[in-house]
Chain A
Amino acid sequence: MNKTRTRLGLVATAAVASIIALAGCSSSGTPATASGTPIKNQTITYVHEQEPPCIWGAWVQEAYLSRQVFDSLVSWDDSGKPVAWLATKWTTSPDGKDITFTLKDGVKFTDGTPFDAAAVVSNVDYWVKNLGWNSFSYLTSATADSADQVTLHLSKANPEIFRELSNGHYGIQSPTALANNSQAQNCQYPVGTGAWTVKKWTQGQDILFARNDSYASAPSNAAHQGPAYEKFLDWKFASDATTRWSALTTGQTDAVYDPPSSQWATAKKDYDVHSFVTGGRQQAFSFNTAQGPFTDVKVRQAFAYAVDRKQIVESVFKGSVPFDGNGSLSPTNPDYLDVNSTYPYDVKKAASLLDAAGWKLNKDGVREKDGKTLEVKLPYGAGPIVSQDGAIALQAVQQEVAKVGFKLDLVPLTQTQLFSGQGQAPDEEDIQFGYWVWPAPNILDIVYNAGTTAAPNGNNTTHFDDPSVQAQIDAAQVEPDATKRKADYQALQKYFNDNAVAVGLYDFTNNVVTSKDLKGFTQDQGSNGLPLFSDAYLVGSK
């Protein structure tokens, strides 16, 4: 055992030395300019985590890929406004239900099909049919007014529609490809107007994107117009964080998604780190308000007080992911309300709330009421939804709530169980834990709308059902006045937080670490933080 230890110790030392040498190398190689001389027409290598089944689809993992191949009507800017992309300007009708876009001239899909109003109409039809959650954008159809003018129709006003349209899921595909190509082709080799085309997808390994040499439709907030600097983008997949990180430290790749959090400090020191907190709602505890002990607001609040959420997130994620107390809305979304100072860690308060709710400690240190123990189930999607660090955070939560008498059962679900909807029904869970990526504050409608008895809203993980609150949500999302809308939304967030219907734990954060030799890398600002390589170029040793 000792032997192994020494040897590994040596190896680790060697690793540190080589990293230092590497860092020293790159800084001494290009001493004067920070950016260095671009070396063009090379291959950028990026290692991502999850490999989705198709380039385009409704899953957020697919948006990462769609964004490389497709352009959208508008792009979201750092300034918090939509800017021109495939559409050059737009107007909204007085009732907010019709938006007319004027389209960029002379853009062609990579299969030669011209981009025009008819193309947008086919895409809208395609989205309505194939994006399972499209109804939350209230987009229903589109009509071509002329060759370069198209009107999108909404079922109700949606002031945030531009944030949604700038999202990777609403990328525009060639109508010829949609109509004529096979499902398999549109899945693996779809056709867009974007900066890259799919050259070869080797399932289980990588997707090789080739530069679109005639690219002329970059968004107006891109760093440069025209084709990408480098010739290829090799987008690899490795589900293991250590593997990804090692690929970066050995110089095998120029950028990696989500490094191990234990390497975050090193990443910040020796590489460039890029973080983007996704829009929507955060990794949050959704309490079951329909059934079980959490129907009592005191019990929900006690749970929140019992956990030192901030400390847990800081210790587990080591700065790579921020704490967020708001369980309803992400800080990236407009109209976000900061509630991080509410429910501070207070074991006494938690205990007294539980006492007041009638839950008394028994001899095992678990609370009891009417002969039932305070045992609560928390099913979660281990892997695709909750990372390994996330699972550690949950275990820390488990330990802290045990101190006030909760017996928290963590139930990791397999992918089969997760996607077949297990652990979602009110009688199968007491708390759910997860996130929802969505660009607009009407995420409240998605996660708190009860739906109808015939078609309950499955995204409502709290099983919250209050028509008067729902009416406020409905009113807020069609409110044309920005200031009023903000006030309405913040009042709603305060309501959900005060009543502890859902409380947040940590932000769902997209982290990308890039080598110092890769310049110009950015993340899309339209709620997903999708990595962008069309403005990126390599410098230095390559």
Chain B
Amino acid sequence: MTATTVASTRAAPTPGADRSRARARGLLLLRRLGSAVFVLWGTITVTFIVLSVLPGNRATIVLNVQSGQTTVRTAAEIAAVDRQYGWDKPVVVQYFDYLLGLLHGDLGVSWQLKRTVGSIIAEQFGPTITLAIASLLVAWILTIPWTLWTAGRGRIRGSIGSAVETIAAGLPQYWVGIMLLLVFAVNLGWFPVLGGTGFAGTVLPVFTLAIPLAGFLGQATRTEFDRAVRQPFVLSARTRGMTESGVRSRHVLRHALIPGITLSGWAVGSSLSGAVLVESVYGRPGLGTVLVSAVSNKDLDLVMGIVILISFVYVVVNLLVDVIYTIVDPRLGGTR
């Protein structure tokens, strides 16, 4: 959740004509867009600065990667490469060149893969976002029944529920990956070891990310669930004669989901990071693997392209989270 969201949820609904409400809504939208553009620009700039100050001469890396050597290079060799890629220009000029290119929709070329960044991203984005979104969905599918079954139902169930969540949340992702691989792919043979991007190959990677994530979502949901159960409206619903399960699933759960939903925006970002490890365990294509090698080789254009994309996804997901938020939280409903 971005800071603007916090601000906007606090904005009191202005009573008045539909027209002014529509105008306010339009303004809000503009502000959101402006903030999104700012965030994108900010991530680009931060990445650019960090990559520029990162030790390790880029031209040396290019020369060594292309020749499979690890040697120190002479000034003449370095100068030639710098000239070839335009790295002899001042960093500020390179920065504005990059931004200018970006405005024309040009993400640049990866020196490492010798392809346009756009084409690499187009190829690699699908598997990664599939993984991220599917694991978020599966995590929710695991979390909701688990919470309903264990939360607010006495100490023993609660402790078991909470212990399982804590364990799940504390599991190292790639450790889960290796365990699932060992049991379900290597020994039971239910899934392929090297699955690629098909359905059968996606199941284990998705669970690898979903299990720890479900632990987090479960913790957040349970904390809120335990609080909500003690709220006055629960009592009033009960006195209205609502069944216990009805109260739990209709009223309490609705409240309890809010922190988890807020968390989902973060979760997508985290899954994109976790995807790197999972892709490495399962030999799966995706942005993660590309990003690690791009960072290692200071393949600036490629790193920037991926950063822009991930930030973009983050912004979009958080907008979605805001929308879902208003639907779920009865206290916020209607005004936006």
Contact = CB atoms under 8 A, between A and B. Distances in A.
A binds B: yes
Interface of A: 11-12, 14-15, 18, 47, 53-54, 57-62, 130-133, 183-184, 186-188, 202-206, 236-240, 242-243, 246-247, 249-250, 252-253, 381, 385, 414-422, 424-425, 434, 454-456, 458-459
B193 A59 contact: no
Given A11-B182, A243-B282, A250 B61 contact: no
B239 interface: no
Given A11-B183, A246-B186, A459-B69, A238 B194 contact: yes
Given A132-B63, A202-B123, A252 B115 contact: no
B317 interface: no
A252 B192 contact: yes
B124 A203 contact: yes
Given A60-B68, A132-B63, A420-B61, A187 B114 contact: yes
Interface string B296-315: 11100000000000000000
Nearest to B178: A242
A142 B183 CA distance: 58
B74 A422 contact: no
A5 to B, nearest CB: 13
Interface string B63-105: 1111111111110100000000000000000000000000000
Given A204-B285, A240-B281, A416 B56 contact: yes
A250 B65 contact: no
Contacts, number: 163
A208 to B, nearest CB: 11
Find the residue from B112, B185, B194 having the highest chain A CB count within 10 A.
B194
Contacts of A204: 124, 279, 284-286, 289-290
Contacts of A424: 70-72
A420 B290 contact: no
Contact of A183 (B68, B114, B124, B281): B114
B60 A205 contact: no
Contact of B66 (A59, A240, A243): A59
A419 B194 contact: no
A61 B280 CA distance: 18
Nearest to B287: A204
Contacts of B71: 421, 424, 458-459
Contacts of A422: 55-56
Nearest to B61: A419
B116 interface: yes
B73 A458 contact: yes
B67 A133 contact: yes
Nearest to A239: B280
Given A184-B114, A417-B56, A420-B60, 12 more contacts: A59-B68, A61-B68, A187-B115, A188-B115, A203-B120, A236-B194, A243-B283, A246-B181, A246-B186, A415-B293, A419-B64, A421-B64
A187 B113 CA distance: 7
Nearest to A421: B72
Contact of A458 (B72, B114, B186): B72
13 contacts: A47-B283, A59-B66, A130-B66, A203-B124, A204-B279, A238-B194, A418-B64, A419-B60, A420-B56, A421-B60, A421-B71, A421-B73, A458-B71
A421 B123 CA distance: 32
In order of increasing CB-CB distance, the 9 nearest A-B pairs are A458-B71, A132-B67, A420-B56, A59-B68, A204-B285, A238-B283, A205-B285, A415-B296, A58-B67
A243 B281 contact: yes
Nearest to A242: B178
Contacts of B64: 418-421
Nearest to A417: B56
A289 to B, nearest CB: 17
A14 B282 contact: no
A260 B114 CA distance: 33
B297 A205 contact: no
Contact of B123 (A15, A203, A246, A455): A203
Contacts of B196: 205-206
A250 B282 CA distance: 14
B2 interface: no
Given A252-B192, A419-B60, A424-B72, A205 B283 contact: yes
A186 B124 CA distance: 20
B54 interface: yes
B57 interface: yes
Find the residue from B64, B280, B293 having the highest chain A CB count within 10 A.
B64
B160 to A, nearest CB: 16
B14 interface: no
Given A243-B283, A414-B296, A58 B56 contact: no
Contact of B115 (A60, A184, A237): A184
A381 B65 CA distance: 13
Interface string B189-229: 10011101100000000000000000000000000000000
Contacts of A187: 113-115
Contacts of A236: 194, 283
B193 to A, nearest CB: 4
A132 B124 contact: no
A247 B178 CA distance: 13
A58 B112 CA distance: 13
Given A203-B124, A419-B65, A458-B71, A250 B192 contact: yes
A15 B145 CA distance: 34
A14 B187 contact: yes
Contacts of B281: 240, 243
